[in-house]
C-alpha cells in the first residue's frame, strides 16, 4: 500500500505539472514575441542549471539524462552520488550515511560504467569488506563534487561510448578554462556538523581559472579539503542456524550485537585542466586529478553468542518460535552458562585510505570543416588500502535472554556483566593488512567525417586499447598463536588492560533501541590496543599471506567501432557496432592438495593461473523523431556487456573460519550480456520544462548468480576450538581442520530480464517556485528465481525549489523500496525501503558572496536489513543527520 501511495502521489503531481505546462505552452505558442524576449533572458541558479540540463538532454542523440552544476563549485548536492540519485532510474544506498555507489534501472552498482571526461577512471574502496570484495562499482566518495561541471547518464548504448555498462554509463565532465570567464575565482568555506558524533569539522574548496585575451590558452586549478568525524550506531544479527528447540528444529540467531562505529573522514583533492586552442582546427586538453580519502575507523561490538553456546553443549529455554525462527528465548553456554562460550566482544581499529589519480592527454584536430580526428591517451590508478587492522576479540561463558519480536533486538545478560571487563578474556587477536590496486592505461583514436549522401550525415570510426590491472593482497597474523603471546607488564594481558574508563555514550542506540536492548558496555581504548599490539614481538606478530584474498587480474582489451549518423527534416539517428576482444589472465591460489607448493599457518596452498579470451560484438541503434516543435519520440536498441567483478574471476576462496562460510571465484565466468530496448517520449513546451515518459527492457542473457554448496576444505585454519563437523587435519598444527564449508561460488545463470518505465516532470510553477518530480518502476527477475541485487521496484524523487535574486532554496525527498543486497554468510541479505529528506539554502549577501546551509537526512531515517523475510532481522543502523553551514565566494 505504501508503494501505491508513492506512485499515486508522483502521478498526481506530474499530472498537475503537465496541465500547467501544457496551458503555458499554448499561451507561449500564441505569443511569438514573448518567446523571443524570453530567449534573451539569462537565467542562472537552480533554474539556470535545470534549463541547461533540459537543453542538453534534448540535444543528445541517445536516451540520457543530464545533471549540471548551478555555478562554478556549486553542485546540487554535497556528494556526486547524492546528485545522481535525483536522476530518473538512479538510486543510492547510505549504509554509512552518504551515498557512495549508484544503481541504475534495477541493476546493481557493479553493472554501471563510470567515465571521467569520456574515459574509464580507476576506483578504490575505503572499507575493508569492500576492498576484499573488489567489485567494478565506482565509489564516488573519491570524486570531489566541487570539480564537476556536468554529469551525463547514458541509458541507451551508442557505438562510440565505452562498453561496460549493462545498467548504463555515467560520464563525469569536469570544467574547462576556456568555457569560463577570463579570470574566475571561487571558494567555499563550510563547517559540517554530524549530530551523532556531535563534532563540527571544516569543509574548504577553491578554484582558480584563467584564460588569455585571445581565448586560445587557459589553465584551471581546483583544490578541496574536507573533514568529518562520524558515528554510526547499530544493532546486528550475523545470521541464523538451525538447532533443536522445544522438541523440533528452529533457526536461532547466531550472534546478536550492539555496535558502535566511529570514523574520521578526511578528503584531499586537486584537479588541473590545461586547454590550448590556437585555432579552430586544433585543440589540446591536458587534465589531471588527485583525490585522497583518509578513512580511519574504530568499531566495537558486544555480542550475545548463541550459536557457540548451543554448539558447545549449552541450552535454550522459554523459546518462542514464529515462522520457523526462535524469535525469543533464554540461552546459556555449557554448565548453566559457567563454561564454554556465550559472549564475544570485538574491537577493531583500522587505518584505511582510498586514493585515485588520473592524467590524460586529449587532442582534437580538424584539418577541414568536415573532418575531425580525436586522439586520447592516459593513465588512471586507484588504491584502496587498510594498511593496518588491529583486531582483538574477548570471549567467555555467558547466559542471556533475547527477544527479536519488536524487530529491534533486545538482549539481557545474566552473566557476565557487560560493564565489567573481568567477565571475559582475550580469546583471539589479529593484525592484518589489505591492499587493493586498480590501474588502467588507455589509448583511443576516433575519426569523424561529415558527408551529404542522402540521409547519411556523418561516418565515425574509432579504435581503442586498454590495459587494466587489478591486484589484491592480504597479510595477517595467525590469531591462534597471536593471542596467547600478548603480554602486559610482563604477564598475559587481561581484558582490563584494554579498557578505557566509562561505557558507551549516553545516547548510544537511543534512536533505534527497544526497551530491552543492550545499550551500555565497557569500552576498549584504541590507544591501548595499538600500544599493546605495537609492543608485541616475533613470532606473535609475524604476518603471513592470506592466499584466499591475494590475487591479480590483467585484462587487455582491443577493439573498435563504426558509427553512421543519419538525419533529415525532423529526425536524426545513428547505427553502429562496437567490437571488443578481452584477454584475461587470473592469478591466485587454490587450497590444499596432496602436495601444496607452500604452507603457512593458514594451511597449504598452490599458485594457480588461468587465461582466457572472449569477443563481444555490440550493435546499437538510436532514433529521434520530432513529432512537433515540442515533442520528441526516441527509440533505441542495442547489446551491452559488463565484465565480471574481479573477485569473481579469481581461482581462490575467501573463508570465514568462525562461521564456516566462504566465497569463491571462477576464472572462466562469462560476462553479463544483455539485449536492451528503450522508448521515450519527451514534451518540451518551453526551455525550462520537460515532461517525459520512458520505457526500458533489458533481456539479460547471462546473469552471474550465486550457487551455495557444502565443500570439505582440507587443512584450513580455524580460530579457537574445533568446530562441529570438523576433523583435525594433523601435521602438528592444532588450528588446522578439514571442515565442511558453505561456499558461495559465482556461476553463469540462465539469464533474466529488467523492465520498467520512468516518468519525469521539471517545471517552474510561478512566483519563484518550481518542482522536479520523477518516478521509476523497475521489475527485475532472474530466470532461475534468484533475486536481483540492487533492484528496488519503486523509486521516487520529489524536489521543490524557490529562487529569487536574494534566496535560493531546495527541498528534496528521495525514496526507494526494499531490495536484495547479496548473499552474505551463505544467506540472503535484504534491505528495507529507504527514504531521505535533504535541504539546501543559499542567501546572496552580495553579487560575490552567499551564505549557505545544507542538511542531509533531516527526518533521521534508519537503515534496516533482514535475511529473506522481515522475520529474520539482520541489522539496524543509525547514521544520524549531517548539517553544513558556511559561505561561498565567487569573483
pLDDT digits (tens, 9 = 90+) for 408-429: 999 999 999 999 999 999 998 9
Q: Is 664 exposed, middle or buried (0-12, 13-18, 19+ CB in 10 A)?
A: buried
Whole-number average pLDDT of the chain: 89
pLDDT 10s digits, 761-777: 999 999 999 999 999 99
CA–CA separation, 635 and 653 (whole Å) = 44
Do residues 124 and 438 touch, judged by C-beta distance below 8 A? yes
| Beta bridge pairs of residue 98 | none
Q: How many C-beta neighbours within 10 Å does residue 697 have? A: 16
Whether 694 and 775 have beta carbons less than 8 Å apart is answered as no
**Element (DSSP H or E) covering residue 47:** helix 45-59
- Smallest Cα–Cα separation from 386: which of 130, 121, 654? 130
Tally of CB atoms within 10 A around 4: 9
Count CA atoms within 13 Å of residue 59 on its CB side.
9
From its phi and psi, is residue 889 left (phi > 0), alpha (psi between -120 and 50) or beta? beta
Q: What is the pTM of this model?
A: 0.89
Average pLDDT of the segment spanning 653-661: 74
**Mean pLDDT computed over 720-746:** 73
- CA dihedral angle for residue 447, residue 449, residue 453, residue 456, rounded to 10 degrees: 60
pLDDT of 719 > 70? The answer is no
Cell of 890: 565567487
Residue 805: how many other CB atoms lie within 10 Å: 10
Percent of the chain with pLDDT over 70: 92
Over residues 697-713, the mean pLDDT reads: 83
Do the beta carbons of residue 260 and residue 504 sit within 8 Å? Answer: yes
* Interval 637-663 mean pLDDT: 86
Which among 361, 208, 363 is positioned nearest to 286, based on CA atoms?
A: 361
pLDDT above 60 for 21: no
Strand partners, 728: 737
Averaged pLDDT, 41-56: 82
Nearest Cα residue to 448 out of 367, 345, 393? 367
Would you place residue 727 in the very low, low, confident or very high pLDDT band (cuts 50, 70, 90)?
confident
What pLDDT score does 165 carry?
92
Q: Is the model's pLDDT at 8 over the cut of 70?
A: no
Yes or no: say if 761 and 796 are a contact pair by the CB < 8 Å rule.
no
Q: What is the mean pLDDT of residues 344-371?
A: 97
Q: What H or E segment, with its residue span, contains residue 307?
A: helix 306-311
Instruction: Provide the pLDDT for residue 211.
Output: 97
Amino acid at each position: 500500500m505504501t508503494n501505491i501511495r508513492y506512485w499515486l502521489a508522483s502521478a498526481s503531481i506530474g499530472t498537475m505539472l503537465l496541465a500547467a505546462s501544457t496551458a503555458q505552452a499554448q499561451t507561449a505558442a500564441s505569443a511569438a514575441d514573448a518567446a523571443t524576449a524570453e530567449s534573451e533572458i539569462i537565467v542562472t541558479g537552480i533554474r539556470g542549471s535545470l534549463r541547461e540540463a533540459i537543453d542538453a538532454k534534448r540535444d543528445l542523440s541517445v536516451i540520457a539524462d543530464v545533471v549540471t552544476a548551478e555555478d562554478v563549485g556549486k553542485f546540487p548536492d554535497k556528494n556526486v552520488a547524492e546528485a545522481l540519485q535525483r536522476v530518473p532510474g538512479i538510486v543510492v544506498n547510505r549504509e554509512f550515511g552518504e551515498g557512495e555507489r549508484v544503481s541504475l534501472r534495477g541493476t546493481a552498482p557493479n553493472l554501471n560504467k563510470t567515465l571521467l571526461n569520456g574515459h574509464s577512471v580507476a576506483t578504490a574502496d575505503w572499507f575493508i569488506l569492500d576492498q576484499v570484495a573488489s567489485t567494478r562499482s565506482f565509489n564516488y566518495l573519491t570524486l570531489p563534487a566541487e570539480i564537476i561541471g556536468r554529469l551525463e547518464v547514458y541509458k541507451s548504448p551508442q557505438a562510440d561510448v565505452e562498453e561496460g555498462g549493462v545498467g548504463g554509463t555515467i560520464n563525469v565532465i569536469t570544467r574547462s578554462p576556456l568555457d569560463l570567464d577570463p579570470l574566475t575565482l571561487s571558494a567555499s568555506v563550510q563547517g559540517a556538523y554530524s549530530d551523532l558524533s556531535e563534532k563540527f569539522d571544516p569543509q574548504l574548496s577553491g578554484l582558480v581559472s584563467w584564460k588569455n585575451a585571445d581565448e586560445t590558452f587557459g589553465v584551471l586549478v581546483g583544490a578541496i579539503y574536507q573533514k568529518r568525524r562520524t558515528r554510526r550506531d547499530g544493532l546486528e544479527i550475523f545470521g541464523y542456524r538451525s538447532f533443536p528447540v522445544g522438541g523440533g528444529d528452529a533457526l536461532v540467531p547466531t550472534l546478536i550485537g550492539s555496535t558502535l562505529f566511529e570514523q574520521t573522514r578526511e578528503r584531499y583533492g586537486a584537479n588541473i585542466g590545461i586547454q590550448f586552442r590556437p585555432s579552430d582546427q586544433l585543440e589540446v586538453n591536458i587534465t589531471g586529478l588527485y583525490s585522497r580519502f583518509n578513512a580511519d575507523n574504530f568499531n566495537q561490538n558486544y555480542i550475545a553468542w548463541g550459536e557457540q553456546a548451543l554448539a558447545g553443549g549449552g541450552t535454550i529455554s522459554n523459546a518462542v518460535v514464529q515462522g520457523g525462527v526462535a524469535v525469543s528465548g533464554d540461552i546459556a553456554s555449557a554448565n548453566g552458562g559457567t563454561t564454554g562460550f556465550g559472549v564475544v566482544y570485538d574491537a577493531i581499529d583500522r587505518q584505511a585510505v582510498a586514493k585515485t589519480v588520473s592524467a590524460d592527454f586529449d587532442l582534437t584536430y580538424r584539418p577541414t570543416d568536415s573532418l575531425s580526428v580525436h586522439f586520447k591517451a592516459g593513465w588512471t590508478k586507484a588504491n584502496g588500502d587498510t594498511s593496518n587492522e588491529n583486531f582483538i576479540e574477548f570471549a567467555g561463558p555467558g547466559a542471556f535472554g533475547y527477544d527479536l519480536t519488536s524487530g529491534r533486538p533486545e538482549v539481557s545478560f545474566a552473566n557476565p556483566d557487560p560493564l565489567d571487563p573481568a567477565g571475559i578474556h582475550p580469546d583471539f587477536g589479529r593484525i592484518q593488512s589489505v591492499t587493493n590496486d586498480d590501474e588502467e592505461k588507455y589509448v583511443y583514436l576516433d575519426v569523424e567525417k561529415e558527408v551529404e549522401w542522402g540521409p547519411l550525415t556523418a561516418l565515425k570510426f574509432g579504435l581503442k586499447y586498454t590495459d587494466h590491472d587489478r591486484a589484491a593482497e592480504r597479510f595477517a597474523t595467525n590469531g591462534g598463536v597471536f593471542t596467547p603471546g600478548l603480554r602486559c607488564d610482563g604477564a598475559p594481558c587481561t581484558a582490563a588492560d584494554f579498557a578505557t574508563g566509562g561505557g558507551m555514550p549516553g545516547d548510544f542506540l537511543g534512536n533505534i533501541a527497544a526497551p530491552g536492548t543492550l545499550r551500555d558496555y565497557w569500552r576498549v581504548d584504541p590507544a591501548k590496543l595499538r600500544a599493546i599490539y605495537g609492543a608485541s614481538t616475533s613470532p606473535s606478530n609475524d604476518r603471513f599471506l592470506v592466499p584466499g584474498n591475494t590475487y591479480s587480474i590483467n585484462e587487455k582489451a582491443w577493439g573498435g567501432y563504426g558509427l553512421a549518423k543519419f538525419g533529415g527534416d525532423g529526425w536524426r539517428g545513428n547505427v553502429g557496432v562496437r567490437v571488443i576482444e578481452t584477454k584475461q589472465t587470473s592469478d591466485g591460489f587454490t587450497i590444499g592438495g596432496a602436495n601444496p607448493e607452500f604452507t603457512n599457518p593458514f594451511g597449504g596452498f598452490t599458485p594457480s593461473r588461468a587465461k582466457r579470451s572472449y569477443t563481444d560484438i555490440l550493435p546499437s541503434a538510436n532514433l529521434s523523431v520530432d513529432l512537433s516543435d515540442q515533442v520528441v519520440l526516441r527509440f533505441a536498441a542495442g547489446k551491452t556487456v559488463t565484465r565480471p567483478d574481479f573477485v569473481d574471476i579469481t581461482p581462490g576462496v575467501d573463508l570465514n573460519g568462525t562461521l564456516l562460510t566462504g566465497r569463491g571465484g571462477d576464472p572462466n565466468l562469462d560476462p553479463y550480456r544483455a539485449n536492451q530496448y528503450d522508448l521515450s517520449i519527451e514534451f518540451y513546451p518551453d526551455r525550462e520544462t520537460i515532461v517525459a515518459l520512458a520505457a526500458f527492457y533489458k533481456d539479460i542473457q547471462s546473469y552471474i548468480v550465486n550457487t551455495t554448496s557444502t565443500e570439505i576444505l582440507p587443512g584450513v585454519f580455524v580460530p579457537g576450538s574445533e568446530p562441529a563437523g570438523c576433523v583435525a587435519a594433523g601435521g602438528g598444527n592444532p588450528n588446522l581442520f578439514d571442515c565442511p564449508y558453505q561456499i558461495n561460488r559465482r556461476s553463469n545463470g540462465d539469464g533474466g530480464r529488467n523492465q520498467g518505465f520512468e516518468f519525469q516532470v521539471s517545471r517552474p510553477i510561478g512566483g519563484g517556485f518550481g518542482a522536479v518530480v520523477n518516478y521509476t518502476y523497475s521489475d527485475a527477475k532472474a530466470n532461475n528465481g534468484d533475486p536481483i541485487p540492487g533492484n528496488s521496484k519503486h523509486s521516487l524523487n520529489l524536489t521543490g525549489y524557490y529562487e529569487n535574486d536574494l534566496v535560493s532554496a531546495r527541498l528534496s525527498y528521495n525514496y526507494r523500496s526494499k531490495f536484495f543486497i547479496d548473499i552474505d554468510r551463505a544467506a540472503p541479505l535484504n534491505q528495507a525501503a529507504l527514504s531521505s529528506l535533504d535541504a539546501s539554502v543559499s542567501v546572496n549577501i552580495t553579487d560575490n558572496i552567499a551564505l549557505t546551509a545544507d542538511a542531509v537526512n533531516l527526518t533521521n531515517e534508519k537503515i534496516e536489513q533482514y535475511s529473506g523475510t522481515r522475520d529474520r532481522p539482520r541489522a539496524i543502523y543509525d547514521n544520524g543527520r549531517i548539517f553544513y553551514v558556511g559561505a561561498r565566494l565567487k569573483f
